[in-house]
Structure 1
Amino acid sequence: MRWWWVVPLCLGLACAVAAGVAWVHFQRFADTPAVGPDAAPSVVVERGDGFRTVLRKLRAAGVAVGHDLEWQLLARQMDAAGRIKVGEYALEPGMSPRTLLQRMREGRVFRCRFPLVEGWNFRQLRAALDAAEPLRHETTGMDDAAVMAAIGKPGQHPEGRFLPETYLYQRGDSDLDLLRRAHAAMEQALAEAWEARAPDLPLQSPEEALILASIVEKETGQAHERPQIAGVFTRRLRKGMLLQTDPTVIYGLGSAFDGNLRKRDLLADTPYNSYTRPGLPPTPIAMPGRAALQAAVNPAPGDALYFVSRNDGSHVFSATYAEHAAAVDCYQRRRNCPAAAAGEQR
């Protein structure tokens, strides 16, 4: 009888050992890789989904690690069971149950990237938005004027109004959401550029700076040349010279442009033909980036009034028409090239 306590003691020790083993197993489960290479790239938590529904979706997506009870216990331990936020979550290879539940509790949803490219026009921007997934497409069937009204800018011409950057979005966002953000970003970038403008610019308003920046963006093949190109155009504006820039003509031709700019196109008068009309065109012709905005309001000093492409993205800048004509002969007609220039073309 004096050994009566041995049995319960042994049972207690056995239970303690079992509990310890279970705890170690549980901790190992919580931090073991749960997402394999064959799992789906993401899982979507929708409004009204309880934890059991979320767990079923994880199983369906290929997350097979652990028992349901272990997931439920971990969710309770992390205070995540009733706090999982709606959204799409990435299932990255090697991710542990603890990491996944922490992201769901904090709402660290999977974000897609939408790059808005410098030099795009509004038509190209709309086409890219139409192709972006899983973005909601609310602008389908709208004309440009309706789109601008929908983002709170009725009557404003859309060209050049959206800042080229890479924008992040999540499932449930719409193309209008992205357009509002890009429009606000451009307004801020333009205001900052105008505030830091050089004195004595031949520009009367931020609007004119935006138009000039769009031309600089379309004319620039190498980033470091933006201030030089802006300098040429600002000097021509001061002197009352025609800008004579092909991108404005092409923009004015619209869908009639077939990729080949002809002499008759340069002579066909449109509001955007800078060969026939003085000053800046009525609107921007593309989406200028921050660097083009800065160049337009802080052009490089100098005396160049002309430039011509070397056909490698760079340009030759000239102060006189005679110099310019010689550069055109060399780099566009490939004749009468000085020895140094001929060596550049090889």
Structure 2
Amino acid sequence: MKKLGLVLGAAVLVGLAVLIWFASGWYGSADVEEDTSFIVPQGATLTAVARQLDEEGLIDSSSSFLLRAKILGSGDPIQAGEFLIEAGASPSQILDTFQNGQAIRRFVSIPEGLPSILVWERLMAEDLLTGEVEVPEEGSVLPDTYAFERGESRAEVLARMQAAMDSYLAQAWRKRTGRAVVKSPEEALILASIVEKETAQADERPMVAGALSNRVRIGMMLGADATTIYPITKGKPLGRRIRVSELRDRNPYNTRAVAGLPPGPITNPGRESIAAVLDPAETKALYYVADGTGGHVFAETLEEHNRNAANWRKLRRERGEM
């Protein structure tokens, strides 16, 4: 009887030891020596993922990982994406990361006033994205910072950028005031793209929008150099002075030769420029010229504007810019 008790006691101890070993192989630290990114492909099974973990030396054995996952792990499905496995993570933590963790997000930023050709170049240069896209329609992308995951398609990221513009433009259009001269959301984009190029100072966008709106209202030419340049470079820097022949060319984008709005946007305007043309400053100004500080000085009459322009030319001569 005593011998039987010893045998049973030994069996219990052995069983307990096996249980501890089994549990420690799941909850104890795995072979992750440093923070490591790991990609779970779309549609991958846990078996395939375990095999890949084994091949990369992140776990001891795919078979033991799968056995422990079946007995001790959660039955939640694993997610596709790129995940960070932290140094010292246990097999249990690795599985939980794939089931409930956040995939690593990366970001691509589109600054205000970035033309579509440069949006396209930025997307194509991001080597963690996949697939091809055409140059998006000018004015269709809302400048912002967008998150993406490794392996996501460029088309998906671009679609989010364009959906964001559609959403914001529809929202802003509903809030337009009686001072807005644009007759459609499309016209709002066109005028906002000119405002975006005419000033880099956010606080004077409503004034620039007000002056340009006044010009549209009375049928006066907008006189914006950026529109004249657009057909030549598609929004890229010209890299030289505008030629007299280009200023006289009566193409529909040349607002120094043709009255009214050009046929389309000349860049991707940001939220503030769109809001400015839909709620422009209440002003009688028709003219503006650089003031030397990065902003502009505004005028209601041509006589006043000519004086302001003369002051600007004098300042440029003093700076050695002319």
Question: TM-score per shorter chain, which class?
Answer: 0.7 to 0.9
What is the distance in 1 between the residues matched to 2:83 and 2:313? Answer: 52
Q: Find the counterpart in structure 2 of residue 249 from structure 1.
A: 228
What is the distance in 2 between the residues matched to 1:94 and 1:310? Answer: 56
Residue segments in structure 2 that go unaligned for 5+ positions in a row? none
Q: Is the 8 A contact 2:194 2:226 kept in 1?
A: yes
Query: How far did 1:168 drift?
Result: 2.6
Deviations 1:257-284 (A, max 9, x none): 7322335132233211111111111101
What is the distance in 1 between the residues matched to 2:101 and 2:35? Answer: 24
In the TM superposition, 1:174-323 aligns within 5 A as 174-254=153-233, 258-262=238-242, 264=244, 265-323=246-304
Q: Is the 8 A contact 1:329 1:335 kept in 2?
A: no
Paired residue type of 2:66:
Q
Q: Is the 8 A contact 2:31 2:57 kept in 1?
A: no
Query: How far did 1:289 drift?
Result: 1.6
Q: Aligned in 2, Cα 1:52/1:113: closer, same or farther, shift over 3 Å?
A: same
Q: Is the 8 A contact 1:42 1:90 kept in 2?
A: yes
Q: Aligned in 2, Cα 1:328/1:123: closer, same or farther, shift over 3 Å?
A: same
Query: How far did 1:127 drift?
Result: 1.5
Q: Is the 8 A contact 2:179 2:282 kept in 1?
A: no
What is the distance in 2 between the residues matched to 1:167 and 1:103? Answer: 23
Residue segments in structure 1 that go unaligned for 5+ positions in a row? 148-157
Query: How far did 1:69 drift?
Result: 5.4
Q: Aligned in 2, Cα 1:308/1:58: closer, same or farther, shift over 3 Å?
A: farther
Q: TM-score normalized by structure 1? A: 0.78
Cα-Cα RMSD: 3.1
Q: Find the counterpart in structure 1 of residue 46 from structure 2.
A: 51
Deviations 1:271-327 (A, max 9, x none): 111111111111011111222111110112223322223454322233333433333
Paired residue type of 1:22:
W
Question: Residue 334 of structure 1: SS of its match in structure 2?
Answer: helix
Structure 1 stretch displaced more, 240-249 or 95-104: 95-104
Q: Find the counterpart in structure 2 of residue 37 from structure 1.
A: 34
Out of 53, 59, 83, the position equivalent to 1:90 is 83
What is the distance in 1 between the residues matched to 2:211 and 2:49? Answer: 61
Structure 1 stretch displaced more, 258-267 or 118-127: 258-267
Q: Is the 8 A contact 1:252 1:271 kept in 2?
A: no
What is the distance in 1 between the residues matched to 2:92 and 2:210? Answer: 57
Q: Find the counterpart in structure 1 of residue 14 from structure 2.
A: 15
What is the distance in 1 between the residues matched to 2:88 and 2:247? Answer: 60
Q: Is the 8 A contact 2:85 2:94 kept in 1?
A: no
What is the distance in 2 between the residues matched to 1:334 and 1:262? Answer: 21
Question: Residue 178 of structure 2: SS of its match in structure 1?
Answer: coil
Q: Find the counterpart in structure 1 of residue 111 from structure 2.
A: 117
Query: How far did 1:197 drift?
Result: 0.2
Q: Aligned in 2, Cα 1:296/1:98: closer, same or farther, shift over 3 Å?
A: farther
Question: How many residue pairs align between the two structures?
Answer: 315
Query: How far did 1:132 drift?
Result: 1.9
Q: Is the 8 A contact 2:26 2:92 kept in 1?
A: no
Q: Find the counterpart in structure 2 of residue 132 from structure 1.
A: 126
What is the distance in 2 between the residues matched to 1:88 and 1:215? Answer: 40
Q: Aligned in 2, Cα 1:98/1:311: closer, same or farther, shift over 3 Å?
A: farther
What is the distance in 2 between the residues matched to 1:74 and 1:320? Answer: 82
Q: Percent same amino acid among aligned pairs?
A: 33
